[in-house]
Copies of this chain bind each other. A is one copy, B any other.
Amino acid sequence: MLNEFKAIIDPKRLPNRRKYLHYYIVGLVDSEGCFSISIKKQNNAKFGWAIDPVFHVTQKKEHRQILELLKAVFKCGRIIPKPGQENIALQYIVDARRNLMEKIIPFFKKHKPIIKWKEFEIFAKVVEALEKGEHKDVNSFKKLILQIYEASNERKHQLNEVLSEIDRRWMSASETIRRAP
């Protein structure tokens, strides 16, 4: 029995092996989890935009236990009222890049989502690219942005808007450098 989570859930109600619990979590995440990448306007960012990867899982308020279980299994993240549905739903959220790199991504590389595999693949790619600092070079940054929009373009900002702002920032930065001496 999985006694290690007994403070959260009666061990009799859990699968009897950790490995089984891991696959249970994949099924749950494939339904109510999200490997989200948002592109946010951010003036102090080098190219005017921030790429913001967040892993989250939503549950009705009365099932907080299951989110506490996720937090205990992944040993990271936090639980917050779901933005926009504060009275009825909760969200388990992991957004710190170190935790995504060291905990979330390795877990789902080992235990693969069946439904959300594409969503997860691009998520892992983007987080790894950010980790390597690829967002600091204008061409790599634009390539990343293109990949993100290719995966899903249901986004607040149009791709053209994002790319032209990157170019504007980059050109104005280059000009400053040329003028510097």
For this chain, the copies found in one complex come to 2
Residues of A16-49 whose CB lies within 8 A of B = 19-32
Smallest CB gap from A33: residue in B:
B31
Smallest CB gap from A112: residue in B:
B13
| Pair A114/B24 contact, Cβ less than 8 Å | yes
| A32 surroundings in chain B (CB, below 8 A) | 31-32
Question: Which of under 10, 10 to 19, 20 to 34, or 35 or more describes the interface residues of A?
Answer: 20 to 34
Task: Given A26-B27, A31-B31, A32-B31, verify A63-B21 contact (CB < 8 Å).
Answer: no
| A75 surroundings in chain B (CB, below 8 A) | none
| Pair B27/A114 contact, Cβ less than 8 Å | no
| Pair A66/B114 contact, Cβ less than 8 Å | yes
A111, CB-defined interface residue at 8 Å: yes
A117, CB-defined interface residue at 8 Å: yes
CB contact between A19 and one of B13, B20, B26, B27 (< 8 Å): that residue? B20
A129 to chain B, nearest CB (A): 23
A80, CB-defined interface residue at 8 Å: no
A–B Cβ pairs within 8 angstroms, 7 of them: A14-B114, A22-B23, A23-B27, A25-B27, A26-B27, A27-B29, A66-B115
20 additional contacts (CB under 8 A) given A13-B114, A14-B114, A23-B23:
A15-B26, A15-B111, A15-B112, A19-B20, A21-B23, A24-B24, A24-B30, A25-B27, A26-B27, A27-B29, A27-B30, A28-B28, A28-B31, A30-B66, A31-B31, A31-B32, A32-B32, A63-B115, A66-B115, A69-B114
